[in-house]
């Protein structure tokens, strides 16, 4: 894959960082992205051979389109787009404000749409390409306090299937990964903010059939498969990386 270029949005931490590093390990030239973490992004780019870092606010249409254009200008092509950037602002259907709803959809749905639309312009010329959207198992119903987030991931899943149906004529593949409960630094911070305490993880893993939460590496490996030629006939698929709970939920 040494001649392939992959753009991973939201790639300076967590799932995005793991995905970018794994793609780089498999030979892809990586374009890193974040909205704010310029220092981290530049350091990561220096670590990954041939990588570049790009800062952009994906809620801004021109910035989102400009991100893809900047990657193509820097690397000469774009073969893979991993739409990973997203937010999961908490709130039930009663509590969620219209402003929060719009913010979540702007980043989780509109941003990927804009990046996909711009990326397709370049992929069509090559008559090949892979778009990997990172969703969530919350797309199916979701936790009560993730109303906007769950709805946004459901919308992204429909966009994935709709786009796959259309773009197959250009041999551009579109697939989605729906992770379950994943242990990231931000997840730990969220649980502490919610008052779960430092021991939340020990209680949580007792509900997991494999004795652990998902790790960013699990999602990264799935993304590499969908990005590579090993999945050249796979499109419109949704890969659920869910570990269904067993027994009663942990009591925190």
Chain segment 124-150, per-residue pLDDT in tens = 999 999 999 999 999 999 999 999 999
Cα separation, 49 vs 37, in Å, equals 19
pLDDT at residue 208 in the model: 84
Task: Tell me how many degrees the CA angle 83-88-90 measures, rounded to the nearest 5.
Answer: 165
pLDDT at residue 218 in the model: 97
Does residue 3 or residue 16 have the better pLDDT?
Answer: 16
Instruction: Identify which of 33, 40, 38, 37 has the alpha carbon closest to the alpha carbon of residue 16.
Output: 33
Q: Is the pLDDT of residue 24 over 80?
A: yes
Q: Is the pLDDT of residue 246 over 80?
A: no
Instruction: Identify which of 50, 2, 26, 5 has the alpha carbon closest to the alpha carbon of residue 220.
Output: 26
Phi and psi at residue 22, in whole multiples of 5°?
-70, -40
User: CB of 243 within 8 A of CB of 214?
Assistant: yes
All domains of the chain in start order, with CATH: 5-179+218-240 (3.40.50.720), 184-213 (no CATH)
Cα separation, 101 vs 166, in Å, equals 28
Q: Which of 53, 140, 149, 166 is catalytic?
A: 149
What average pLDDT does the segment 31-59 reach?
97
User: CB of 156 within 8 A of CB of 108?
Assistant: yes
pLDDT-derived band at 1, boundaries 50, 70, 90: low
Look-up: residue for tokens 């870092």?
53
What average pLDDT does the segment 45-51 reach?
97
Q: Measure Cα distances from 68 to 27, 190, 210 in Å.
A: 20, 31, 38
Residues in the chain: 252
pLDDT-derived band at 68, boundaries 50, 70, 90: very high
pLDDT tens sequence across 187-220: 888 899 888 999 999 989 988 878 899 999 999 9
What average pLDDT does the segment 107-114 reach?
98
Q: Are strands 172-179 and 129-134 parallel, antiparallel or unpaired?
A: parallel
Q: Is the pLDDT of residue 245 over 80?
A: no
pLDDT at residue 194 in the model: 86
Establish whether 149 is a catalytic residue.
Answer: yes
User: CB of 239 within 8 A of CB of 226?
Assistant: yes
* Strands of 52-55's sheet in order across: 52-55, 29-34, 5-8, 80-83, 129-134, 172-179, 238-241
Instruction: Identify which of 23, 135, 147 has the alpha carbon closest to the alpha carbon of residue 83.
Output: 135
Which tokens go with 116? Answer: 């996909």
pLDDT at residue 251 in the model: 42
What average pLDDT does the segment 75-86 reach?
98
pLDDT-derived band at 117, boundaries 50, 70, 90: very high
pLDDT-derived band at 248, boundaries 50, 70, 90: very low
pLDDT at residue 185 in the model: 85
Cα separation, 213 vs 216, in Å, equals 10
């Amino acid at each position: 894959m040494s001649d392939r270029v992959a753009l991973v949005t939201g790639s300076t931490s967590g799932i995005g960082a793991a995905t970018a590093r794994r793609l780089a390990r498999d030979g892809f030239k990586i374009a890193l992205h974040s909205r704010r973490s310029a220092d981290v992004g530049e350091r990561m780019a220096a670590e990954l051979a041939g990588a570049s870092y790009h800062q952009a606010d994906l809620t801004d249409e021109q910035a989102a389109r400009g991100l893809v254009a900047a990657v193509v200008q820097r690397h000469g092509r774009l073969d893979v787009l991993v739409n990973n950037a997203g937010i999961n602002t908490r709130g039930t259907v009663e509590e969620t404000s219209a402003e929060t709803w719009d913010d979540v959809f702007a980043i989780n749905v509109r941003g990927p749409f804009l990046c996909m639309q711009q990326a397709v312009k370049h992929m069509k010329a090559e008559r090949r390409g892979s778009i990997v959207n990172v969703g969530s198992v919350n797309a199916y119903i979701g936790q009560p306090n993730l109303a906007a987030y769950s709805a946004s991931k459901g919308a992204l899943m429909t966009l994935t299937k709709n786009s796959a149906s259309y773009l197959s004529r250009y041999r551009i593949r579109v697939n989605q990964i729906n992770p379950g409960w994943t242990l990231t630094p931000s997840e730990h911070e969220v649980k502490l903010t919610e008052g779960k305490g430092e021991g939340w993880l020990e209680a949580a893993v007792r509900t997991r059939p494999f004795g652990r939460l998902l790790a960013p590496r699990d999602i990264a490996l799935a993304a590499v498969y969908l990005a590579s030629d090993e999945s050249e006939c796979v499109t419109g698929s949704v890969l659920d990386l869910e570990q269904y709970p067993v027994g009663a939920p942990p009591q925190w």
